[in-house]
Amino acid sequence: MERPPGEIAAPVTTQQAPPTPPEPPAPPVPPTEAIPGDRGRPRKKKSRFGFLKELPGLIIIAFVLALLIKTFLVQAFYIPSPSMDPTLKVGDRVLVNKLAYKFHGPSRGDVIVFSNPGECPEPHRNPVSAFFHWVTEGLGVSAPACEDFIKRVIGLPGDVVEERSGAIFVNGKQLIEPYLSKVRDTRTLPPQRVEAGHLFVMGDNRTNSNDSRFGLGQIPIDDVVGRAFIIIWPPSRFGGLAGGLRFAG
């Protein structure tokens, strides 16, 4: 359609759409989590007394370990008499190394434990009582029915041991013994040769010790249980047991 002459065309206005607001940032993606296999399943509540189920197994393991240690490694022994005073007092408990003489024999001055060389009948016990007595004996809590002995090695196989007015001579040389009781022994005993495979042992309390000089006699090396190396009870006497002997001069 044509406009009449002289008519002015009205300006055409274009209406623009309002600006689109920016989109909000996407929320952060949480890290991937492992989905446990039991998700969705009801979980069992842990009982406060669940450890009681494991207690019998722990007790059995403890007894087995005590068995192995007592049999092959170390055993505690109770001191019942004053024959080793002042080195060992009545009531002391010592640890004995059972492996000490597996590769070599005892040395002079060692404090050793050996089985009773005399006859000692065992009391009758039922299996349960015998087992618990065996465990407590190995821990040094109770004394064995047939008590072992603990003495100091003075003479080795082939040595000649002699006592002169309380002084001990081995192969004609006097021993220096600082560990002896203050009560001096003044006895004199003739020379004795130590037999093959045996030991001559004495207590540190020479006036109150049944040892190789008297009824105990010489001790077969095969009867030696081990070497006492430390006092573990009472705490006030905790400490090692020194071995070794020196000769005068």
Cβ-in-10-Å burial (0-12, 13-18, 19+) of 177 comes to: middle
Which residue in 78, 99, 104, 79 sits closest to 89, CA to CA? 79
DSSP state of 145: S
As a dihedral over the C-alpha atoms of residue 79, residue 82, residue 88, residue 90, rounded to 10 degrees, the angle is: 50
Among the listed residues 98, 151, 209, 212, the single catalytic one is: 151
Is 102 in the active site?
A: no
Q: What is the DSSP string of 27-42?
A: PPPPPP----TTTTSP
Integer Cα distance of 42 and 232 in angstroms:
53
Among the listed residues 46, 53, 81, 83, the single catalytic one is: 83
Is 181 in the active site?
A: no
Contact 81, 202 (CB under 8 A): no
Q: Which residues are catalytic?
A: 83, 151
